[in-house]
Amino acid sequence: MKLSEEEKQRRLRSFIRAARQAGIKLTHQRLEIFREIAGDGRHPDVESIYKRVKKRIPPLSIDTVYRTFSVLEREKVLAKVSVFCNRARFDSNMEPHHHFVCRRCGAVRDFFSHELDRFHVPEEVKPWGDVDTVYVELRGTCAECAGKASAEKTEDRRK
């Protein structure tokens, strides 16, 4: 998902504000890591961000990226959205929203639903504790993968 420059800047400002409020030092590496996350609407994993930022900052370590993600998640600037192929994916969009995850390619797409935003926690859950956040994740096959599967079936029939 391509993000507008305005949305990237909004997310970057959100990171800077949260980092300052939490007393987190805004290093050049952290800013570059978040700039990369903020510009990626595909819900990246740590390794993909590391590879991209390392091109600009060669001495960057993977440990620095993991620690930065951990701090951003703890401060609620990032959210862990999905584990797909044993890799956690992260979302820098902290506005209330939900996700569609493709089981075939792993693509994660944001969607907004007022109906789901009004979800009421079932009574059976209340004795377990207080729920402060609800994430809805829909899983299925994205249109691109469905199109490829259809094309593969057509090709198989021709053989």
pLDDT at residue 150 in the model: 72
* Same domain (yes/no): 8, 76: yes
Residues in the chain predicted with pLDDT less than 70, given as ranges, are 1, 82-86, 153-159
Spatial distance between the Cα atoms of 44 and 153, rounded to a whole number of angstroms: 31
Write the CA distances from 94 to 77, 100, 103, 130, integer angstroms.
7, 16, 23, 20
The H or E element containing residue 6 is helix 5-21
Choosing from 38, 69, 94, the residue where a domain stops is: 94
Of 94, 113, 141, at which residue does a domain stop?
94
Q: Tell me what pLDDT residue 159 has.
A: 64
Range of the domain at 150: 96-159
The total number of structural domains that make up the chain:
2
123: domain CATH number is: 3.30.1490.190
- The domain boundary residue, chosen from 74, 94, 114: 94
pLDDT of 105: 85
Identify the H or E element spanning 62: helix 62-74
Contacts of residues 46-54 at CB distance under 8 Å and 24 or more positions apart, as own/partner, are 46/87, 46/88, 46/90, 47/87, 53/29
pLDDT of residue 47: 93
Residue 7 has φ and ψ, to the nearest 5°, of: -65, -40
Q: Enter the pTM of the model.
A: 0.67
**Which string of b and e fits 38-72 if b means at least 16 CB within 10 Å?**
bbbbebbbbebbbebbeeeeeebeeebbeebbebb
If asked whether residues 79 and 129 sit together in one domain, one would say no
At residue 112, φ and ψ (nearest 5 deg) are -115, 140
DSSP state letter for 128: G
Report the pLDDT value the prediction gives residue 59, as an integer from 0 to 100: 96
Looking at the fold, whether 120 and 130 belong to one and the same domain comes out as: yes
CA distance 92 to 7: 10
Q: What's the CATH code of the domain at 52? A: 1.10.10.10
**Residue 28: its pLDDT value, please?**
93
- Return the structure tokens found at 63: 């440990």
pLDDT at 83: 63
